[in-house]
A = this chain, B = another copy of it.
Amino acid sequence: MSFKVTILGSSGAMPAYGRHPSAQLVEIQNRHFLVDCGEGAQMQLMRLDISHHRIGHIFISHLHGDHYLGLMGLIFTMHLQRRTNDLHIYSHRGLDEIITTQLRYSRSSPSFKIIFHRLEKGERKIIFEDDALTVETIPLQHKIRCSGFLFREKPKPRRIDKTRLPEGLLIQQIASLKRGDDVVDEQGNILYKNTDLTLSPRKSRSYAYCSDTAFQETIADQIRGIDMLYHEATFANDEILKARDTLHSTAAQAAQLATLAGVSKLLLGHFSARYKDLTPILEEAKPIFANTHLALEGEEFKLQE
């Protein structure tokens, strides 16, 4: 089953050198989530031949323009293409007013329902849950209310070992094997022990999006051991004071956090317009955390089961 992050934008506050403002598509087991939606996100989706029709939930980290200004255009396009499915938008306070004001002046009444979910400052909370996964907010430290998002697959069923499965088992019996139970008869006697017929479940994968934020050790507790972390690296170390003043992070700090949290893979993004060449950003992070990658437009990062 899929677990894939596709980068739509890697730029910081200003677009530069063909880099676009923050946006990424997170696909987990055929569920499609948009995380941040900077200006031009709908054009980036088109360019990458990704349909927006399957996006049901959009998570906006904070209300700086480079993280949400593409949302209104996407909503208008969804409306023009006669979307009918509900659209859930998760954001700190204000985005509902920003969107409804614009709908009012354009005299548009979308063809679908928009359901706003308000995020609260400093809160660590599960804001989305279904059969397969949860999405949890990560409190970030920035100039305005800002949240990261932690995507976690739920524990998966045990896998049936087809090479050892006897013939004639009922569907209910197979379901109980997947849940980890033994197969029993009506009197409760064990017919087959679970461990004889099943293999351990597939791994539950996890991904965290942390942007924008100052370096903050407390994040490490929440994301400990996850498979993949996207962390902003607006600056390199040459601008560490600027990073501190603007509540952003350096590439080295992102790598330190990845190390502290013991994650498996680190993606860097939200690059300042002052860096045309991003090699110094990557080279600053790699000695601290080797499995680091630049999260550039169009790149896909897949997690194996």
Point out residues on A near B: beta carbons under 8 Å.
Answer: 13-16, 18, 20-21, 39-40, 42-43, 46-47, 63-66, 69-70, 72-73, 76-77, 80-81, 93-95, 97-98, 101-102, 104-107, 143-144
Contacts of A13 on B, CB cut-off 8 Å?
A: 76-77, 80
Which among B40, B63, B107 is the interface contact of A43 at CB below 8 angstroms?
B40
Report A151 CB to chain B, min CB distance, Å: 26
CB of B65 within 8 A of CB of A143, answer: no
CB of B144 within 8 A of CB of A73, answer: no
Which 9 A/B pairs are nearest by Cβ-Cβ distance?
A94-B105, A65-B76, A39-B73, A63-B105, A40-B40, A69-B73, A14-B77, A15-B43, A63-B106
For A44, the closest partner residue in chain B by CB is: B40
Contacts of A73 on B, CB cut-off 8 Å?
A: 15, 21, 39, 65-66, 69
State A144–B102 Cα separation when bound (angstroms): 13
- 12 A–B pairs (Cβ distance < 8 Å), ordered by A: A13-B80, A39-B69, A39-B70, A40-B43, A64-B106, A65-B76, A66-B76, A69-B76, A97-B105, A101-B101, A105-B144, A106-B144
